[in-house]
A and B are shown apart, each in its own frame.
Chain A
Amino acid sequence: MGRIAALTRNPVMIALVASLAIAGCASKKTPNSAADLGLSGAGAATPGSAQDFTVNIGDRIFFDTDSSSIRADAQTTLSRQAQWLNQYRQYAIVIEGHADERGTREYNLALGARRAAATRDFLVARGVSAQRLKTISYGKERPVAVCDDISCWSQNRRAVTTLGGAGS
């Protein structure tokens, strides 16, 4: 946790750490690759573009086990998201809440929903219009990291802010 917190100030670094951590999960498929995160074009991202948001702002925050509290590192990310979203008001926003696999299916649907709502509420408190924000829970049905250990579970306990309703 502390490691991620320290790195959140540099979104490119955190993206790299995320993809490295996934690569560490044996050699299984890594959906959350550098390309998915827009790293390839990081320097060239047009300000105000979805790529700009994902790469330079950071589209996701992470949670502790069975918790929907917004951690300090996540607050930093969400504050940055709010600032960006308030600057670029053309986007409708869907916040996806996700859980790791270490819970039962129905409970994790509820937990993912709670995480999405906590994320939404934080953004609203930072001035983002509630009218622009929708939430959806995927429970544990959409993991990005697919190994069976703690490093993967921590990446799956997430809320992802998606622009224009695009899925992640």
Chain B
Amino acid sequence: MKSILKPLLMIVAMALGMTAAATLPARALVELNVNKGNVEPLPIAITDFQGGDALGAEISGIVSADLKRSGLFAPIDKSAFIEKISNPDATPRFEDWKVINAQALVTGSVSKEADGRVRAQYRLWDTFAGQQMSGEQFFANDANTRRVAHIIADAIYERLTGEKGYFDTRVVFIDESGAKNARKKRLAIMDQDGANVRYLSDGRSIVLTPRFSPNRQEITYMSYESGQPKVYLLQIETGQRELVGDFPGMTFAPRFSPDGQKVIMSLLRDDGNSNIFAMDLRSRSTTRLTNSTAIDTSPSYSPDGSKVVFTSDRGGRAQIYVMGADGSGQTRISFGDGVYSTPVWSPRGDLIAFTKQTAGEFQIGVMRVDGSGERILSTGFQQEGPTWAPNGRVLMFFRDSAGGPKLVSVDLTGRNEQSIPTANFASDPAWSPLLE
């Protein structure tokens, strides 16, 4: 298998020295408060990076698209630009940018080093304060210049919002093609913006519910390849696969623990019910967490690993429950009018995302970890399966319409919904942590 994760590991970040403007008296710098209810997108001018022929414009285009899709930024059309940046290291004419209401300005350059590496650098300017906010340069292998652009977008996002970005990430998902009653399902991986799709299975067996490991190198998923549906582990780099556990019945709904040492999943009991087990990947020892004559599934750890949220129909219909990571203190937390499933703990620890079925529709929502403060972010005829961006600000899920599922993202305000372009139908997205 072609190496997917390695090529960019050589990225080296270095802070760029401030230009003369940085020595000006400090003034309040432009800042986005993403915790306000209604964030007005920040007007930002992203100029084409200098050098590298088409590469410069490509990088600035990717940076611009990332920031725009976040809903927090409004990149200004390049045709409105007055100053033509010729030296990205020189202090720009701030007046020219203020007059088009660009509150922030990005300049940059890209070049090929003698050793074949790509060098990219950017500077972020506060036009109204008249100073540089940040500047960095990166060296990367030639293989994936898109990653450099995503890293720069993350740096700009973080500098302006105070929150970590989520652009230098990948998504594993199920690529679906063919008629609905004969769907070919393949494991696939792509960048969070839909670029660089690669297939990780051949479509001969049904595969479902892939989930990223915290170390970004492995995926756990469910496959019918042995006849009985079972949970597997896949090394993305090598393509090496292994069965997770030696259980007699179907295993499904796998997820990694935050430390990557365990896989938690459902195991089918002989009586037709399903309970939750955790398996230690090193010792291979298994721990039973639930023992109910009910469907207990879709377990998801809290980011500190101390708790597990899951779905159970032990009370009649499916609802969301929380328990200790040892199975103690199982407590129902969802009490709204409807059926709740697919709970996923936010990487920030503060919220649980879920799918809720009510009044003939499927909703994607979030609630606090005690079940209070439920908010619905998206409602549709058929949609399910949220996954969190690593910064806990954005969810991706899949929505069935026009004959098959497609991927959609929505931010925590519920106002910024974006479709993720995929060549075929796509379902079961799982967001990676930020790449390293």
Judge whether A142 and B297 touch: CB under 8 Å: no
Judge whether B181 and A107 touch: CB under 8 Å: no
- B250 contacts partner chain A, Cβ-Cβ < 8 Å: yes
Q: Which of A11-19, A84-92, A110-118 contacts B (4 or more CB under 8 A)?
A: A110-118
In the docked arrangement, what's the CA distance between A144 and B228, Å?
A: 20
In the docked arrangement, what's the CA distance between A118 and B339, Å?
A: 23
Q: Which of A37-45, A56-64, A98-106 contacts B (4 or more CB under 8 A)?
A: A98-106
For chain B residues 325-381, which have a beta carbon within 8 Å of chain A?
Answer: 339, 341-342, 355, 357, 381
- A137 contacts partner chain B, Cβ-Cβ < 8 Å: yes
* Residue of chain A at shortest CB distance from B270: A117
In the docked arrangement, what's the CA distance between A18 and B229, Å?
A: 28
Contacts of A146 in B (CB 8 A): 179-181
- Contacts A109-B229, A113-B274 given: A29-B252 contact, CB under 8 Å? no
* Residue of chain A at shortest CB distance from B398: A105
How many chain A residues sit at the interface, stated as a range, is 20 to 34
Which 10 residue pairs are nearest across A and B when measured between Cβ atoms? A117-B272, A114-B272, A106-B253, A110-B295, A146-B180, A104-B341, A110-B274, A104-B384, A31-B181, A107-B341
How many residues of chain B get a CB closer than 8 Å to chain A's CBs?
A: 43
Contacts of A145 in B (CB 8 A): 181
Indicate with 1 or 0, residue by residue over B312-335, a CB within 8 angstroms of chain A CB atoms.
010001100000000000000000
8 Å CB contact of A137 from B229, B341, B382, B384: B229
For chain B residues 43-63, which have a beta carbon within 8 Å of chain A?
Answer: none
Contacts of B181 in A (CB 8 A): 29, 31, 142-146
In the docked arrangement, what's the CA distance between A109 and B298, Å?
A: 11
Extra contacts, 12 of them, besides A113-B272, A117-B270, A137-B250 (Cβ < 8 A), are: A66-B339, A104-B341, A106-B253, A106-B311, A107-B298, A107-B341, A110-B252, A136-B250, A137-B268, A141-B206, A141-B208, A143-B180
In the docked arrangement, what's the CA distance between A28 and B403, Å?
A: 10
Contacts of B228 in A (CB 8 A): 136
In the docked arrangement, what's the CA distance between A141 and B224, Å?
A: 11
Closest chain-A Cβ to B154's Cβ sits at a distance in Å of 31
- B390 contacts partner chain A, Cβ-Cβ < 8 Å: no
Judge whether B270 and A66 touch: CB under 8 Å: no
In the docked arrangement, what's the CA distance between A136 and B180, Å?
A: 20
Judge whether B250 and A109 touch: CB under 8 Å: yes
Contacts of B182 in A (CB 8 A): 31
Closest chain-A Cβ to B257's Cβ sits at a distance in Å of 18
In the docked arrangement, what's the CA distance between A68 and B185, Å?
A: 27
- B131 contacts partner chain A, Cβ-Cβ < 8 Å: no
